[in-house]
Structure 1
Amino acid sequence: MVTGRLKSMSAARVALQPCVPAFHRLPGGRPRADLVGGGVYGVGVTAQGDSTDGRAGVGDTDAALHAVSAAVLAVTRHLSVREVLQVIVRSARRLLNARYGALGVPDDDGSFAEFVAEGISERQWQAIGPLPRQHGMLGAMLREGTAIRLPDIEEDARFDGWPPAHPVLKDFLGVPIRDGDQVLGIVFLADKRDKGGFTEADEKLLTLFAAHAAIALTNARLYERSRELTLVEERKRMARELHDAVTQKLFSLRLTAQSAGELLRVDPERAAVELDRVQRLAGEALTELRTVIVELRPAELARHGLVETLRKHVNLLDVLHPACVVFDSGPIGAVEPEVEMAVLRVAQEALHNALRHSDATTVEVGLVSEGGRLTLRVRDDGRGFDLEAAASCGLGLASMSDRAAAVGGRVRVESERGKGTSVRMEVEFR
């Protein structure tokens, strides 16, 4: 965190000094001291000629670049657009020691497609109401595409008032996030904690950070787009499977039912055989259709994250099947997309096995994160099976192990006849 005021980029001298870490939770629940300085020391900026703790002083430009570099690295560790936006705001706010920060991504309808804020509570945010429109100072920044720095935002002619419950801001610094001529969004800070408000040096620092943040935001958008294309291909594949598997069974079902109807009057015994076949084909078609419906769901993974996607998946299965399917999870934090996909696929395979083969009355799904390790557990109270014969049972155990191994994880299966089955996947994440 920049702990001192940058009065001028040429006059200030910089020292590395111990600073109070801002603790937040890593994925897995463990705290981490998130220091913009990138290590044990934060960046302390002073106006004196010597360092504040006897260490060798370094140029203020180096310190500023060091702080920006640490903030940029914090942003580029994330691939989700929403996460990138949140980390940009958080990093910018810490970088310039501001009380409030926000970032808006404009849409084509005069509002904002995304808007994230730091420094206000969830209750305040809900009380403020709908996302802001592109008017007032925010609209001016989008139209003009230039930085705006003000000692008191309410005294500017472009100011258009505060919505109800909005905190009253004073000093203001806003910078566009640009990709060439396109404004991707605007990041702005308010109420600098240091006396005197934002300086010209602060504006330059935030502009430099915004230029790098634009790269991270563009990269995240491209990544999500590539995932969307992958999901489109997956949906096409599932559509082909739907046509190849379910449609054929339904066609056979129709012909068999017609045959049974014709035989019912002339040969009741053969008609009964055909009706038994109708029942079997209907059951197979229903199973195939359920599988297709379930496997079309991962499109929500990029939008809602692993916990919510898995919760919806379990709720769907609970409706579709007679067994009681329940889900339990706490917050897991940010997980790499490839790990999310692997965990989801293993969960789907384990659930499919439990619901199709175990005759279980209850299937429990749990997801926990602890110490940088994500653990998935799918447990049923079904009939169990012989693990030694599992390779020939078509239960997909090899597939689950392969998916876990691809992301550095492992799967352990425990089962005993008459005592149910437990599938446990463990994987470490950053």
Structure 2
Amino acid sequence: MSDELHVARRLSAAVLAVSDRLTVPEVLQTIVDTARELAGARYAALGVPDEAGSFAQFVVSGVSAEVQAAIGPLPRQHGFLAVMLRDPATQRVADIRADPRFHWWPAAHPVLEAFLGVPIISGDEILGALYLANKSGGFTDADEELVGVLAAHAAIALTHARLYARNRELTIAEERARIAHDLHDAVAQRLFGLRLTAQAADVLLDRDPAAARRHLTEVTTLAKEATEELQAAVQELRPADLATDGLPAALRKQVSILDRAYNGAPHLTYGDDDPPELPMPARTVLFRVAQEALHNAVRHAKATTVRVRLQTHDPDVVRLEIADDGQGFDVAATLKAGRSLGLRSMRERACAIRATLTVDSTPGQGTTVRLEARHA
């Protein structure tokens, strides 16, 4: 195999790793290993700084695990490590030890000579840097160009990781807000009713013991209902493992949680024909829409039966359907009045993955929520 073809294939593998299903650490390790190999360096590293003067990530290549352990904790931002995080220019020196910007390294650290540092940049922000050292004969312009390509793809991987983290934080915040709203609507109201009923029983205890006993029976019922609401909320705080278990299993678990929490209320059924698994963003959206629709059915619609179905609608479409026989509502009027945050949330989630959401409901005739997403 020619050198040019080998380089092209290794670069291609590193680039594809960015869009593959690998984790960010795996992508960064692939980039560091590729940079070291193609530039002919003995050592390579990729550093992503934190806000405390150290590094959030520091991936190395060419240094054994034993030597890494002997070196000790992750390095601080000093010397050339810090230079690369402040200056967007590539740094190339024949012997790093002779440069006035060089500081020191731990006793167990390999001795570095020829050095090439390439910043990882997104817009005007330096996200990190690639460090290469100890190439026989020193680094060349071609090495700079090649490592620059890998640094650009490291920037893509790190940017994707940031966006994923931010989206996850937003999702968590949304779910916490929804659970807080549910707790206020359900548990707080029941506890308020429990308090008033207990007060009424206390007032009636001497003059009408029979009425007081009836109120105390109601206190027991309200306490039981509040406990069930709290149990359901606690279960929801335990996230579904969509990545490991898949969407069908996560839906079954959610139905089981609600069935236990609302024992003797709505009868929940689940049906599916094991449709093909969706990409993770689509799985998450379908699961969250199912959660919202199920909660609406069991807490607000006064349904006696709720059916959940996940199936392949045609070769390219997976359909989720949640249907209940509850009191129903006027969809158009509700949306126009802006009264339903749940409907709006479901629509926004569907739009995020270009899925189709329909909500069919008529007062007195139940509600059907249907979401169709493409798996290919």
Which TM-score applies when normalising by structure 2?
Answer: 0.60
Relative to structure 1, the CA distance from residue 97 to residue 79 in structure 2 (aligned partners, 3 Å threshold; closer, same or farther) is same
SS in 1 for 2:105: coil
| 2:145 is the alignment partner of 1:235 | no
Relative to structure 1, the CA distance from residue 185 to residue 408 in structure 2 (aligned partners, 3 Å threshold; closer, same or farther) is farther
Hey, what's the Cα distance between the residues in 2 that align with 1:296 and 1:228?
A: 14
Match of 1:156 in 2: 99
Give the letter aligned to residue 184 of structure 1. Answer: L
Shift of 1:408: 7.2
Match of 2:198 in 1: 257
The answer (yes or no) to whether the contact 2:231–2:261 under 8 Å persists in 1 is no
Hey, what's the Cα distance between the residues in 1 that align with 2:133 and 2:318?
A: 43
Hey, what's the Cα distance between the residues in 2 that align with 1:292 and 1:146?
A: 52
Shift of 1:68: 2.1
Relative to structure 1, the CA distance from residue 236 to residue 108 in structure 2 (aligned partners, 3 Å threshold; closer, same or farther) is same
The answer (yes or no) to whether the contact 2:10–2:34 under 8 Å persists in 1 is no
Relative to structure 1, the CA distance from residue 294 to residue 262 in structure 2 (aligned partners, 3 Å threshold; closer, same or farther) is same
Relative to structure 1, the CA distance from residue 117 to residue 263 in structure 2 (aligned partners, 3 Å threshold; closer, same or farther) is farther
Hey, what's the Cα distance between the residues in 2 that align with 1:70 and 1:166?
A: 30
Relative to structure 1, the CA distance from residue 82 to residue 63 in structure 2 (aligned partners, 3 Å threshold; closer, same or farther) is closer
Relative to structure 1, the CA distance from residue 268 to residue 215 in structure 2 (aligned partners, 3 Å threshold; closer, same or farther) is same
Give the letter aligned to residue 143 of structure 2. Answer: D
The answer (yes or no) to whether the contact 2:120–2:126 under 8 Å persists in 1 is yes
The answer (yes or no) to whether the contact 1:111–1:132 under 8 Å persists in 2 is yes
Match of 2:147 in 1: 206
Gaps of 5+ in 1: 1-15, 17-43, 46-59, 311-334, 359-371, 373-391, 411-428
Shift of 1:207: 0.8
Hey, what's the Cα distance between the residues in 2 that align with 1:402 and 1:63?
A: 45
Hey, what's the Cα distance between the residues in 2 that align with 1:240 and 1:342?
A: 25
Relative to structure 1, the CA distance from residue 136 to residue 408 in structure 2 (aligned partners, 3 Å threshold; closer, same or farther) is farther
Equivalent residues in 2 for 1:56-205, closer than 5 Å:
60=4, 64-78=7-21, 81-82=24-25, 84-96=27-39, 98-120=41-63, 125=68, 128-163=71-106, 165-191=108-134, 195-196=136-137, 198-205=139-146
Shift of 1:205: 0.4
Hey, what's the Cα distance between the residues in 1 that align with 2:74 and 2:318?
A: 41
Match of 1:323 in 2: none
Relative to structure 1, the CA distance from residue 132 to residue 357 in structure 2 (aligned partners, 3 Å threshold; closer, same or farther) is same
The answer (yes or no) to whether the contact 2:24–2:158 under 8 Å persists in 1 is yes
Deviates more, 1:242-251 or 1:165-174: 165-174
Shift of 1:138: 0.4
Relative to structure 1, the CA distance from residue 353 to residue 175 in structure 2 (aligned partners, 3 Å threshold; closer, same or farther) is same
Gaps of 5+ in 2: 264-276, 278-302, 321-374
Which TM-score applies when normalising by structure 1?
Answer: 0.53
Give the letter aligned to residue 103 of structure 2. Answer: D
Match of 1:349 in 2: 254
The answer (yes or no) to whether the contact 1:79–1:223 under 8 Å persists in 2 is no
Shift of 1:357: 8.0
Relative to structure 1, the CA distance from residue 408 to residue 134 in structure 2 (aligned partners, 3 Å threshold; closer, same or farther) is farther
Match of 1:398 in 2: 308
SS in 2 for 1:145: coil
Relative to structure 1, the CA distance from residue 128 to residue 292 in structure 2 (aligned partners, 3 Å threshold; closer, same or farther) is farther
Deviates more, 1:178-187 or 1:287-296: 287-296
Number of residue pairs the alignment of both structures matches: 283
Relative to structure 1, the CA distance from residue 291 to residue 407 in structure 2 (aligned partners, 3 Å threshold; closer, same or farther) is farther
Relative to structure 1, the CA distance from residue 128 to residue 256 in structure 2 (aligned partners, 3 Å threshold; closer, same or farther) is farther
Poorly superposed stretches of 4+, deviation over 6 Å: 405-410
Equivalent residues in 2 for 1:349-368, closer than 5 Å:
349=254, 352=257, 356=261
The answer (yes or no) to whether the contact 1:93–1:101 under 8 Å persists in 2 is yes
Shift of 1:129: 4.3
Equivalent residues in 2 for 1:365-384, closer than 5 Å:
none
The answer (yes or no) to whether the contact 1:64–1:205 under 8 Å persists in 2 is no
Identity %: 50
Hey, what's the Cα distance between the residues in 1 that align with 2:318 and 2:43?
A: 40
Hey, what's the Cα distance between the residues in 2 that align with 1:87 and 1:269?
A: 77
Relative to structure 1, the CA distance from residue 219 to residue 259 in structure 2 (aligned partners, 3 Å threshold; closer, same or farther) is same
Match of 2:348 in 1: none
Relative to structure 1, the CA distance from residue 281 to residue 171 in structure 2 (aligned partners, 3 Å threshold; closer, same or farther) is farther
Relative to structure 1, the CA distance from residue 345 to residue 176 in structure 2 (aligned partners, 3 Å threshold; closer, same or farther) is same
Q: Please give the per-residue CA displacement for 1:126-179, whole angstroms capped at 9, x wherever unaligned.
A: 664443222111011122222233454334332222236544445433210112
Relative to structure 1, the CA distance from residue 238 to residue 127 in structure 2 (aligned partners, 3 Å threshold; closer, same or farther) is farther
Shift of 1:100: 3.9
Relative to structure 1, the CA distance from residue 166 to residue 256 in structure 2 (aligned partners, 3 Å threshold; closer, same or farther) is farther
Equivalent residues in 2 for 1:316-335, closer than 5 Å:
none
Relative contact order higher in (CA < 8 Å, ≥ 6 apart):
1
Give the letter aligned to residue 234 of structure 1. Answer: E
